[in-house]
Structure 1
Amino acid sequence: MSMRPLTIGTIVEGQGEVQALPVVLRRIAARCVPETWLDLPRPYRAGRGSLLKAGGIEAAVTVVAEANRVDGVLVVIDADDDCPATLGPGLLRRAQECRPDKQHAVVLANREFEAWFLAAAPSLGGVRGLAEHLDLPAEPERPRDCKGWLTSRRTDGQSYKPTADQAALADRFDLDMARAHSPSFDKFYRDVERLLTKSG
């Protein structure tokens, strides 16, 4: 019996997410839709400012939807100092109005993608130079410099670099622990699950 194909296009802002986001998506897909063959074209990278401006997310969604004949489109950007619950719905509405023929999900990592790693920090001990034993931050989504937090917990004298380290951490962090301690990752997980099961 052949696996059902499903193509999900993705839009990210950071270079590290180009490698890391597909890793996380495949891990979730293996749980939620193991019978599905997931096709993930290389993420389309666009600056956060360009996505937020008038016509910005619409242009990116159009490129992704038309270039790869996708079933669904997922947008993942950092919330920074914005409230995800305020900014996210507006961006989702714009994406849906632009391409109503596709399933869409828009997720703002609060405050940044790496906050999801902090929310599962104990599961990352010993990975990519991190200390063997890592404590869970009291409020994983509060730090403004999650990359600095990761650098400060390394024992190899190296700095955390998204392009070198993000995909490896994405492959190892505990998804359930991250969901339990990061509301924005829990939303991401639920949105991805919906996208995987309702697209196509």
Structure 2
Amino acid sequence: MRLKLRILAIVEGHGEQTAVPVLLRRWFQHRRFRDFETPDLAIRAPGSGALKCAHDDDDELGIEYYVEMAARERPDGILIMLDADDECLERARKRSLGLGPELLQRARAIAPHIPIEVVVANREYEAWFLASLASLRRASRIPRASRLTAPLSDIETIRDCKKRLTQLLGRPYEETTDQPDFTEVFPFTPAMARRSRSYRKLLEALEALTRAARRNRRS
């Protein structure tokens, strides 16, 4: 029996460790890709900045360390996801190489034989929940009466999305439980992609990653 193509995820946050595998499995199902799978838990680089900082094996820092860890499992592809926070804006002001492209260069240099994609959520993963607010309401994840004051076209300019979610929920937002639960109802629609450029980049990265994984398997 032919083995399924295996995609590993690397993340920074506790919530993303379970949420990103949920996202991957839902996307495989959406695309009817029955030949792909992913583990229940992503590889976690603990602490904000652990992937962005300089490579240091002794301190388990840098995207290189975690790509090497993932590569030892011989995956068919690696998806790396992290929050931009304000770093992408700062890089744009300085006209320097974007965070995503820089990290992708570093990751591919370590494992050039494995398809790798890097996705940077702008400004944070929770911004995608705000962009999918209507779907969260329909699925009863958020009270139907909850409304966002900022226009949907400005989702990626909102700071502290977790605080906004707490206000919408009427209770504290819990990253480790709410993130995978809300991810279960992400819509893979053109409207969602228009509301969030970084979400659109995620969908493009998933298409590229699965296409490359299949190509490698055939070669």
The TM-score with structure 2 as length reference comes to 0.82
Q: Deviations over 1:139-170 (max 9, x none)?
A: 11111111111110114xx2111111111100
User: SS state of the match for residue 77, structure 1?
Assistant: strand
Aligned to 2:181: 168
1:107 aligns with 2:123: no
Q: Deviations over 1:107-152 (max 9, x none)?
A: 1100000101111111111656522144464211111111111110
Deviation at 1:9, TM superposition (A): 1.2
Aligned to 2:49: 49
Aligned partner letter, 1:48: S
User: SS state of the match for residue 52, structure 1?
Assistant: coil
Match of 1:143 among 158, 174, 192: 158
- Say what the alpha-carbon RMSD is for the aligned residues: 2.0
Match of 1:83 among 79, 88, 103: 88
Deviation at 1:194, TM superposition (A): 1.3
Q: Which runs of 5+ in 1 are unaligned?
A: none
Q: More displaced, 38-47 or 168-177?
A: 38-47
Give the Cα–Cα distance (whole angstroms) in 2 for the partners of residues 128 and 165 of structure 1: 12
Q: More displaced, 125-134 or 11-20?
A: 125-134
Q: Deviations over 1:10-33 (max 9, x none)?
A: 110100001111111111111235
1:153 aligns with 2:168: yes
Q: Deviations over 1:80-122 (max 9, x none)?
A: 0011771110100000111101000001100000101111111
Aligned partner letter, 2:109: E
Amino-acid identity (%) = 38
Asked whether the equivalents of residues 9 and 65 of structure 1 are also in contact (C-alpha less than 8 Å), the reply is: no
Q: Which runs of 5+ in 2 are unaligned?
A: 56-61, 90-96
Give the Cα–Cα distance (whole angstroms) in 1 for the partners of residues 169 and 159 of structure 2: 18
